[in-house]
Structure 1
């Protein structure tokens, strides 16, 4: 498992993924070589999957974010696979999640404005296969957005 030094490294890495190994080592209180080895170990173990940029879509002109919850018509055994394959092709879909329960799939969709969203909805979303029901939730504000876990 991971120890306290790994937890410190992970905490600082979550706070700022752009840190160099030397900066991360200094903040975590370990040597650069130790930090590098631990990052490699955590990556090899699948704990660290990637370092990535987090894009602020609003600064790129996307002012609308909608979460669409779908119930699929599951009379076709390929309904999930076909729906998910088609949803992946919609460039404005920034997130796809599947669920057990009343809701089968959730898509997070971004648009420049409501007119653009309406176009995406009519031309790209409603044409997705095997839809039995859709519920739309418009994002008003994000209070907490963290992929981190208590370390």
Structure 2
């Protein structure tokens, strides 16, 4: 069962301000608080609404470097993907892990306080990850657009 127009209206207002109380969310979505609560619970049960989160600006906390690593794995070992992903999850500076079909198998998004710190992470934690056949680093220069909300 898909979300209807009322659900999408509720989700639009929730995306705009996830911290707002349900009473305010209901008012903005033009429904009663009880209806908003029921609909939110139904959206959670159906897996459409997975929760709310705090988005922290890690740059404001002194993490100045972001690098996207494109990694090709040695696919001669059938355990390469699982072994690599399990090890990569343990690197605290890896913010994001994505897998792909094609020449590049995995992308890691890595942050560091500065270039010296990045070199330490790269040498001690990234290059020691198992099953790497090739690695390409792309230095993040600027964020032009980041989609935090859906066009509901």
TM-score range, shorter chain: over 0.9
* TM-score, normalising length: structure 1: 0.96
RMSD: 1.0
Matching of residue 135 in structure 1 with residue 142 in structure 2: no
| TM superposition shift of 1:58 | 0.4
Give the equivalent residue in structure 2 for 1:69. Answer: 70
Give the equivalent residue in structure 1 for 2:58. Answer: 57
Instruction: Measure the CA separation in 1 of the matches of 2:34 and 2:147.
Output: 28
Q: What does the per-residue CA deviation read over 1:43-94, in whole Å, with 9 as the maximum and x for residues that have no partner?
A: 0000011111111000111011111010000111000000000000000001
Instruction: Measure the CA separation in 1 of the matches of 2:101 and 2:148.
Output: 21
What is the DSSP-based 3-state SS (H/G/I as helix, E as strand, rest coil) of the residue aligned with 2:13? helix
Matching of residue 150 in structure 1 with residue 151 in structure 2: yes
Corresponding pairs, count: 151
Give the equivalent residue in structure 2 for 1:107. Answer: 108
Counterparts in 2 of 1:35-50, with a 5 A limit?
A: 35-50=36-51
Over 6 Å off, 4+ runs:
none
Q: What does the per-residue CA deviation read over 1:9-61, in whole Å, with 9 as the maximum and x for residues that have no partner?
A: 11121222212211211211111111111100100000011111111000111
Give the equivalent residue in structure 2 for 1:84. Answer: 85
Instruction: Measure the CA separation in 2 of the matches of 1:37 and 1:145.
Output: 31
| Structure 1: stretches of 5+ with no match in the other structure | none
* TM-score, normalising length: structure 2: 0.95
| Structure 2: stretches of 5+ with no match in the other structure | none
